[in-house]
Amino acid sequence: MGTASSLVSPAVGVGEVIEDTYGGGEACEIPVEVKPKARLLRGSLRRVGASRPGGLIGASFKSTASVQELECVAEYERLKKEYEIFRVSKNNEVASMVKKEAKLDRENKRLRAELQALQKTYQKILREKESALEAKYQAMERAATFEHDRDKVKRQFKIFRETKENEIQDLLRAKRELEAKLQRLQAQGIQVFHPEESDSDDNCTDVTAAGAQSEYWNGGALGSEPSMGSMMQLQQSFRGPEFAHSSIDVEGPFANINRDDWDAAVASLLQVTPLFSHSLWSNTVRCFIISTDETQLEVDIFIKTYSLKLQRICETMGYFFQVVHFSTENERPLKDVKKWEIEKSSLVILLLHLTLPSCLLEDCEEAFLRNPEEKPRLIYHRKEDGRVSSVSVQQLIEQISYVNKAKMIDHTGGVEEGAYEIYKCVEKIIKQDILGCEMTDLEAKDLGNKEESTAPEEEVFGDVLWDAHDEQEQMEAFQQASNSTCELGFEKYFERLNDLVAAPAPIPPLLVSGGPGSGKSLLLSKWIQLQQKHSPNTLILYHFVGRPMSTSSESALIIKRLTLKQAEKHMKWLIDPLPVNVRVIVSVNVETCPQAWRLWPTLHLDPLNTKDVKSLISAECSSANVKLTKEQEKKLERHCRSATTCNALYVTLLGKTIACVGSTGSIEETLQQCCQCQDTVSLYRLVLRSIQESLQSDKEKGLLREILCVIGVSHNGVSESELMELYPQLSSAVLASLIHSLHKMCLLTYGCGLLKFQHLQAWEMVRLEYMEEGENVISAYRQKLVEYFTMQLSRDQVTWRSADELPWLFQQQGDKQKLHKCLLNLFVSQNLYKRGHFAELLSYWQLVGKDKSSMAAEYFDSLKEYEKSCEGEESMICLADLYETLGRFLKDLGLLSQAVAPLQRSLEIRETALDPDHPRVAQSLHQLAGVYVQWKKFGNAEQLYKQALEISENAYGAEHPRVARELDALATLYQKQNKYEQAEQLRKKSFKIRQKAARRKGSLCGFALLRQRALQLEELTLGKDTPDNARTLNELGVLYYLQNNLETAELFLKRSLEMRERVLGPDHPDCAQSLNNLAALYNEKKHYDRAEELYEKALDIRRRALAPDHPSLAYTVKHLAVLYKKMGKLDKAVPLYELAVEIRQKSFGPKHPSVATALVNLAVLYCQMKKQIEALPLYERALKIYEDSFGHMHPRVGETLKNLAVLSYEGGDFEKAAELYKRAMEIKEAETLLIGGKAASRHSSSGDTFSLKSALSPNVFLEHGQR
């Protein structure tokens, strides 16, 4: 039996820890309260029950169990209550903890978000910091490059200025010494060279602000002032060549222009006035051949084999070439024809062997002994061993050698070799002696060590769209009219014209009216001749109008020619309004005079009186030794009394007809026939029939008809060479005889090398005589011309003749499809536009039915198609010219937004194919700036003009007319921006440059002769070698090189090199200059081995004497590398291209675009050598530089990507090639869609190549002196 304590707490001890089954709370101790009474009671009961079993035991247990149950229930209730209290408190604590947990979670999320935001801000700031540091470093690199370029330019400018100052001082010193030597020689009685005697006529042209007092005018407004003239034809004439004139005083009260503007305009006019060689007859190089039967083989070979080559040479320069040769048979009847041909000839060739027939002696004397103009002459003498020429041959050669400076060819070989020697000598004479003054523009070439110093041919006239052929045609028309010996009583009309000029202003224009052939052009020509004689400072503009539909009758070209686009800002008053001192004279036909003009003062030419008729006919008959009887004279006087038979043209033609037949036929019969002709057209028909009767065969009569009809249906006439190609059966002798007869009888005349009708009545006569059947005959002859010029177009480059004739012929035929195709020939349209035929080109497009926008789109599409076939430097330069022409054309049409893209493309091509400092780049910049000026984007225009000005100054010097052009453009721009002070300063500077250029014009050849004579005198008097003499020899060699006189240039350059090696030593930089110039000359002559040797010597000297980044060193490296490439020595070219990369890195820094261009050049060379592995990193590096410098969408980036694509394709990586090519095409498309914006590339970044297939051709120029 246990104790009470064991019954009460059998399992739980006092103070035992009970854990909360709900968790989350703390462990707690539950104290158990023990009640002693109950425990004692339960113990006594147990003891009693144990001692007394049975009923007593049962009764005792029941009472005891009830008490225990009560106690347990009470305890249970108590514990239950305590448990509920404990549970509720713990639940409350749990709820509080849950709330705290939720609050902490929210705070944790907020802090995490703030942390993430701070991290993002930190990353952004870090990236901005890195970008700022990178931009800082790039800016520092650009600043260093800029400072380097600036210092380099300063050094170059300092050297250039010092060199020019030294040259000026040397020239002044040489001039003073030469004058002193000349004076000493003259004092000794020695006849010396005088430069003024050898200068051309243009040396007399001087632009002066105030001339001497006029000697011709006796009073009035011009009594104390010189006069400036301007001629103007305001109305198309339909009655033959017409004429108009206006004269403007230099000084006096001008209404709306100032003196500086006038002087600048005069300088512009003189600048664009073309010079023509005295050896040329009407724009044709005529070669007259005199030969014997012994040398006929040489003549045949020369004409058959070499005349076509000479013709191509002349055509590329804009001239015709004609060989005239008469056989020894039937010489006497052609005496007058041969004499006329010798007078016209530019060159006479005499071919001799052993004998000289007596029939040729007179021709030889006429050509060689009577040569007042000293035209070139050539004698070919074939000798044989053991045989001696006849006495007549020896005497003739001795006489010619004594009297004339004819060139001699002594040949001892075969006839084919002899013909080749004749060809080489004739080619040299044509280029140097005949076309030398036209081919050489010394001002346009830098005599210094410039790599590229020539400009496009059209740039001779600046912005002027000028047609030199039209100008020469006008000059010839004036000469033909003024050279007439007939006066026809013009003195009374001269007085009226003088009164008009002297009358007080304002007065309306004066009309000179008269019937067709009344002598209006002759009158005004004679009057102008007097003006020029008595007022040398007079400037005269005139225009003769030819037959309808000819170029000379187009009103737009007439106004353009007289106003001159270059001078229009100075001479807007030429049309309206006129200054008070302007006098306008217009000649018109009575029938075609506009009604509004009939109110103006009129000078009407009266019909010829009896005295004038008699004197005119007598003069014609006396020239042919024909004597008329009294009865015949009276008969002629009675006949020439009607209005149609007493005009000057009819009477002149009548006199020529009588004089022509007087020596061979019956005068009386001819006179009877003439009296039946009551107008000029019928008299012309009689003249034509008399010419036909004089011909010996039907073949010649048929050829006569063909010649006249072809000339009649052409646009501006036909040349002799074209006639011989149209009719192969036509010999030069027969053609010369026919033209002589037609020219003598006033049917045909020459105009810029083209045969055309001398008067409109002659054209009408041919139409009536040969084309009476109507349009079918005309269409047949026009089709013949179409086939000929189409063949010329497909066989060779477009000439000015095919561009003039072919579109016009299609227009006359109404064949719009062929006209459209012809206009889309880019070279045809370019030729027409550049020669100022703007209105004509537009009229063709209007006939096709295209407006301006569609025309521009078709031209652009044609250019894009043509660009796909362009490979090589020359074709890309040509492409740039086409793009520029299209841009200028669109600008003139007013399509400014569309004009930007082609001009931008032209600029990029020139920067890539040439040098960024090439003058043609300046030309592109100038044209692009002009578009921005019209577009009112003055900021863009100013930047481009300044870039063009900088390039022009570096290329030509600060006093060149092209610099004046850029100054004028900037001045105009500043004036539009109301910056009048800056504009005035630039205008004054430009005006001084133009004045100096006008004074120098025409004297360059005289200057070259003067320098040569000065050098000869120095060498004769001093007799020693000096650096100055060596430099002068080098300059003379450069001058002759620029004149294409390579043999003479070689002599001077060799003498300069020898003298410099003796005086300065073989390792002096000046010797390298002479070596370089000689190498360039040999390169031009295609003597590549000699050029290679000299370039290598020059490079060795300059490497040792000059800085690693010196421009002269880079110049030699470049051209030697190009020469190696041309010779196929690619292994030798590689180190030079690598050296070029090094030089550019030292000069511009490693990240300059010019370095990228050099890398591309080297990569292209590696590709040509099949070293694609070496080329790949170069392309990638160049691409990185281009992208960093110009952006990812620049055309150069696209070109490099395209090259990389080709490289990847060849390497088999087709996916990469496709990706690169796609990027390149995207850039190309973006470039095509470019409408506006600035020039994408700076001119300071060089570009020598443009694609993987580029074939660089060297542009070789000579060096003149250190800069």
DSSP letters, 1108-1162, are: TT-HHHHHHHHHHHHHHHHHT-HHHHHHHHHHHHHHHHHHH-TTSHHHHHHHHHH
Residues lower than pLDDT 70 in the chain: 1-65, 179-281, 329-333, 403-405, 436-467, 485-488, 505-506, 534-541, 547, 549, 553-582, 662-665, 795-797, 998-1024, 1043, 1111, 1231-1267
For 800-824, the pLDDT digits (tens) are 888 889 999 999 989 999 999 999 8
Task: Give pLDDT, residue 536.
Answer: 59
516 SS3 class: coil
Q: How many degrees, rounded to 5, is the angle at CA 659 between CA 656 and CA 664?
A: 130
Give the chain's radius of gyration (CA, Å): 49
Distance linking the first and last C-alpha atoms of the chain: 138
Indicate the angle between helix axes 1069-1084 and 1111-1127, nearest 10 degrees: 30
Please give the pLDDT value at position 329. 64
Contacts of 1138 (CB under 8 A, 6+ apart): 1162
For residues 481 and 560, is the Cβ–Cβ distance under 8 A? Answer: no
719 backbone dihedrals φ, ψ, rounded to 5° = -85, 165
The structure tokens listed for 157 are: 């400018």
Got the DSSP string for 561-602? HHH-GGGTTT-GGGTSSPPTTEEEEEEEETTT--GGGGGS-E
Integer Cα distance of 1240 and 1262 in angstroms: 32
By C-alpha distance, which of 1264, 1249, 1238 is closest to 1156?
A: 1249
Burial per residue of 648-682, b for 16 or more beta-carbon CB atoms within 10 angstroms, e otherwise: bbbbbbbbbbbbbbbeeeebeebbeebeebebbbb
CB-based contacts of 854: which residues, under 8 Å, 6+ apart?
none
Residues in the chain: 1267
CA distance 1038 to 1040: 5
1059's CB contacts (< 8 A; 6+ apart) are 1025, 1029, 1030, 1033
Measure the CA–CA gap between 66 and 71, rounded to whole angstroms: 9
pLDDT for position 1245: 34
Structure tokens at 435: 């076309």
Which helix (H) or strand (E) element contains residue 997?
helix 980-1000
CA distance 1165 to 1170: 9
Q: How far apart are CA 913 and CA 908, in angstroms?
A: 9
- DSSP class of residue 1244? T
